[in-house]
Amino acid sequence: MLLLLLLLLPAAALLPLWAHAGRIIGGRASRPHSRPYMAYVEVWKDQAVTGRCGGLLVRKDFVLTAAHCGCIACNIRVTLGAHDLSAAEDSQQRLWVQRTIPHPEFTPEPLTHDLLLLQLEQPVVVTEEVKPLALPSVRSAVRPGQTCLVAGWGLRSPAALVAPNTLHEVEVEVQDNDTCTMYCAGYREDSMLCAGSPFQRGSAFRGDSGGPLVCNRVPQGLVSYGNINGSPPAVYTRIAKFVPWIRREMRLLRP
């Protein structure tokens, strides 16, 4: 049933998982500050926030997010060390982005190479609540059936209008490539992975884009896109594949 429905849906039913704040579908509130690598990414245009995403602190001065979160003629602000975005938490560090480096092969349609490196205006101060997470090795792989964790401030359901302020998270199971191809239009085996069982509810959703999928404490994916109705699986950029590019850019842009 699900499969049929999805095959009949037009490609436009696949949405980049950004815009609007909110939370993960089918998850729970994270224990405050238990994910110190999580970044909250805001896109500012004409003094207003026009987009929200998640991100991953990969070095003191770099955050990795999804390329479809980027924009032209706008500014990006990153908040680290947040749990409740509405609270004046002492742990929070807010920094403007000095430079955005989208992957050179990124295209919005079809959505591919969906990653963007953000160079912060200055390095964060590493604390208990703000800590980079090391990149995976190029050869590290995820196995189908492996359980990973995705967190974000994204929508909790397709019908949700109100933006909750606290970080949420959910465990999702990595799916095999055939399942991903079947459920997710535009899926590419070489540079993506998909997670979230089609028979369960838990998933990343709108507003979670750019946030990391962490497997065994290693970030393996970045939330990229999913089905419009929020049903899993969702598609992630496969980080390991892009580690050489990420490392090269960070080396070139040494402060």
Residues between 168 and 197 with contacts to ligand NAG, criterion CB under 6 A: 174, 176-177, 189-190, 193
Q: Least separation, in Å, of the C-beta of 116 and ligand NAG? A: 23
φ/ψ of 203, rounded to 5, equals -165, 160
Q: How far apart are CA 67 and CA 75, in angstroms?
A: 14
Site size toward ligand NAG, by CB under 6 A: 9
Q: Least separation, in Å, of the C-beta of 194 and ligand NAG? A: 8
Classified as helix, coil or strand, 54 is strand
In terms of Cβ atoms closer than 10 Å to its own Cβ (0-12, 13-18, 19+), residue 255 is: exposed
Residues whose CB falls within 8 Å of the CB of residue 32, separated by 6 or more in sequence, listed in order: 83, 84, 166, 167
The answer to whether the peptide bond before residue 233 is cis (omega within 30 degrees of 0) is yes
Q: Least separation, in Å, of the C-beta of 196 and ligand NAG? A: 13
Does 114 qualify as catalytic in the annotation?
yes
Q: Least separation, in Å, of the C-beta of 52 and ligand NAG? A: 29
Q: Which stretch binds ligand NAG (CB under 6 A): 18-26, 119-127, 138-146, 225-233?
A: 138-146
- Catalytic residue chosen out of the listed positions 68, 83, 103, 168: 68
Q: How far apart are CA 34 and CA 105, in angstroms?
A: 34
Indicate the residue among 89 and 176 with the shorter CB distance to ligand NAG. 176
Indicate the residue among 93 and 224 with the shorter CB distance to ligand NAG. 224
Indicate the residue among 109 and 190 with the shorter CB distance to ligand NAG. 190
* Residue 134 tokens, joined: 């090391």
Supply the DSSP symbol for 166: B
- String of contacts with ligand NAG for each residue 60-99, x by CB under 6 A: ----------------------------------------
Q: How far apart are CA 85 and CA 61, in angstroms?
A: 21
* Residue 209 tokens, joined: 């884009």
Q: Least separation, in Å, of the C-beta of 158 and ligand NAG? A: 26
Q: How far apart are CA 196 and CA 203, in angstroms?
A: 6
Does 168 qualify as catalytic in the annotation?
no
Q: What region, left, alpha or beta, does residue 159 occupy, with left being phi > 0 and alpha being psi -120 to 50 degrees?
A: alpha
Element (H, E) at 46: none
Q: Least separation, in Å, of the C-beta of 38 and ligand NAG? A: 24
Contact pick of 11, 134, 141, 162 for ligand NAG (by CB under 6 A): 141
Residues between 143 and 162 with contacts to ligand NAG, criterion CB under 6 A: 144
Indicate the residue among 130 and 174 with the shorter CB distance to ligand NAG. 174
Does 209 qualify as catalytic in the annotation?
yes
Question: Which residues are the active-site residues?
Answer: 68, 114, 209
Residues near ligand NAG (CB under 6 A) are: 141-142, 144, 174, 176-177, 189-190, 193
